[in-house]
Amino acid sequence: MSNPKQLSVQALQWNGHSLNVLDQRLLPETITYDEYRDAAGVTEAIASMRVRGAPAIGIAAAYGVVLSAIQHYPANDWQERVATDIAMLAASRPTAVNLFWALDKMRQQLSVDNPEPIAALSQLAQQIHQDDIAANHAMGERGADILGDAKAVLTHCNAGALATGGYGTALGVIRSAHQRGHLQNVYADETRPWLQGARLTVWELAQDGIPATLIADSAAAWLMKSGKIDWIIVGADRITANGDVANKIGTYSLAVLAKQHGVKVMVAAPSSTFDFSLETGDSIEIEERNPKELLAECYLDPDSLVNAWNPVFDVTPAELISAIVTERGVVLDPGKHGVRSLQC
Ligand code: MRU
């Protein structure tokens, strides 16, 4: 049984002067941490998905700002140089709002006149990291309350410790529910084309001894039809004021299927994932990655003449979601109420 206070796997390790990033492209075969000492390296680590998952890329970017300050301070124009690095980090990936949220916090701290600026930036980045872990534990408890005695759930992508500061959002709820002894099986779909479910989620759950069953993405409808699951639980990359949720491509399909089969959909996300500046999910920029990633996954020559379209997120309308769980509270039926009640 998992210990909720214990971090079974860590995507990011800060050691005061550099950031160690677990290269998630190589999991589960190889566990390798790469050491980064500047913002350019962290930008590349995010863009190439060595580190991925909305909260984790926000935390990595915050540490990237600290590395920039360490590199440039005390040059006369060090703050301008750090601001340039912040713009570079912000351009690494477009959809997860946690990235921009964390960089905004770091930018505000940068503008504060402080005799120890590096210590202040470092402290803030570590606070962002620790707050994320605490939020995940709080969500885990709230989400487990809602699940009650549900026996089996399906999750999509990887919204676990690997995607966050630790413990996970969707997998945090699953960890907490498993701790309570009700949850007997967690289905994880492969999550093509990057295979976050197959390569990361089932591996992460296995580390904690939580029973996990991998399914092909195309088996999800049949799984629901068979009555084997009570809930789908996912994380989010951005949630707009009306409760629309951007998450890994395929989440929308699952939510549509869930409606047909009477399965409920839970989204677990910290408040750093909310974008109240956008009314609806129509305004969210959806990242489209290099088609070669998709072609390679299908064993097609990436330089062949075959076309591929590779959007890596989609938007699930609020009305298809049963519950949005955050560390601040829960909104049931967000399609009816939106999520402004969670705004500070
Ligand atoms: O492309 P990725 O792997 O960064 O996408 C990750 C997801 O879509 C996750 O579900 C989301 O970030 C929530 S992580 C707690």
pLDDT value at residue 183 = 95
Per-residue pLDDT of the chain (344 residues; tens, 9 = 90+): 344 445 579 999 999 999 999 999 999 999 999 999 999 999 999 999 999 999 999 999 999 999 999 999 999 999 999 999 999 999 999 999 999 999 999 999 999 999 999 999 999 999 999 999 999 999 999 999 999 999 999 999 999 999 999 999 999 999 999 999 989 999 999 999 999 999 999 999 999 999 999 999 999 999 999 999 999 999 999 999 999 999 999 999 999 999 999 999 999 999 999 999 999 999 999 999 999 999 988 888 888 878 999 999 999 999 999 999 999 999 999 999 899 999 98
Check residue 181 and give left, alpha or beta (phi > 0: left; psi -120 to 50: alpha): left
What separation in Å is there between the alpha carbon of 248 and the centre of ligand 1? Answer: 6
The whole-angstrom separation of Cα 311 and Cα 67 is 31
User: Given the CA of residue 156, which atom of ligand 1 is nearest to it?
Assistant: 10
Instruction: Provide the residue ranges of all domains of the chain, joining segments of one domain with +.
Output: 12-132, 148-342
How many helices and strands in the chain, by DSSP H and E? 11, 14
User: Given the CA of residue 287, which atom of ligand 1 is nearest to it?
Assistant: 1
Atom 15 in ligand 1: residue holding the nearest Cα:
159
Q: Where do runs of H (alpha helix) occur along 73-164? A: 78-90, 97-110, 117-147
DSSP 224-267: HHTT--SEEEE--SEEETT--EEEETTHHHHHHHHHHHT-EEEE
**Contact at 8 Å (CB) between 342 and 271?**
yes
User: Given the CA of residue 269, which atom of ligand 1 is nearest to it?
Assistant: 15
Atom 5 in ligand 1: residue holding the nearest Cα:
53
Q: Which residue in this structure is represented by tokens 């289905």?
A: 187
Domains 12-132 and 148-342 share a fold: no
User: Given the CA of residue 248, which atom of ligand 1 is nearest to it?
Assistant: 8
* Fold type of domain 12-132: Four Helix Bundle (Hemerythrin (Met), subunit A) (1.20.120)
The whole-angstrom separation of Cα 129 and Cα 13 is 10
**Contact at 8 Å (CB) between 152 and 185?**
yes
Pocket residues: Cβ below 6 A from ligand 1: 52-55, 96, 157, 159, 163-164, 169, 196, 234-237, 247-248, 312
Pocket test for ligand 1, best of 158, 174, 233 (most atoms within 8 A of CB): 158
What separation in Å is there between the alpha carbon of 307 and the centre of ligand 1? Answer: 25
pLDDT value at residue 2 = 40
pLDDT value at residue 7 = 56
List of residues 6+ apart from 76 with CB closer than 8 A? none
Atom 8 in ligand 1: residue holding the nearest Cα:
248
User: Which pair of tokens denotes residue 140?
Assistant: 């885990």
The whole-angstrom separation of Cα 141 and Cα 126 is 23
Pocket test for ligand 1, best of 12, 46, 50, 157 (most atoms within 8 A of CB): 157
pLDDT value at residue 301 = 86
What's 184's DSSP letter?
A: -
What separation in Å is there between the alpha carbon of 82 and the centre of ligand 1? Answer: 27
User: Given the CA of residue 57, which atom of ligand 1 is nearest to it?
Assistant: 4
**Contact at 8 Å (CB) between 215 and 223?**
yes
pTM of the model: 0.97
148-342 maps to CATH 3.90.1150.10: no
What separation in Å is there between the alpha carbon of 95 and the centre of ligand 1? Answer: 10
What separation in Å is there between the alpha carbon of 236 and the centre of ligand 1? Answer: 7
The whole-angstrom separation of Cα 15 and Cα 6 is 19
pLDDT value at residue 283 = 98
Catalytic, out of 237, 244, 275, 314: 237
**Contact at 8 Å (CB) between 140 and 110?**
no
- Bond into 74 cis (ω within 30): yes
Which residue, 165, 172, 146, is CA-closest to 330?
Answer: 146
Pocket test for ligand 1, best of 248, 265, 327 (most atoms within 8 A of CB): 248
Q: Strand 313-316's sheet: what is its strand order?
A: 274-275, 238-240, 245-248, 313-316
One-letter amino acid at 226 equals: S
What separation in Å is there between the alpha carbon of 73 and the centre of ligand 1? Answer: 33
The whole-angstrom separation of Cα 188 and Cα 285 is 26
Residue 237 is a catalytic residue: yes
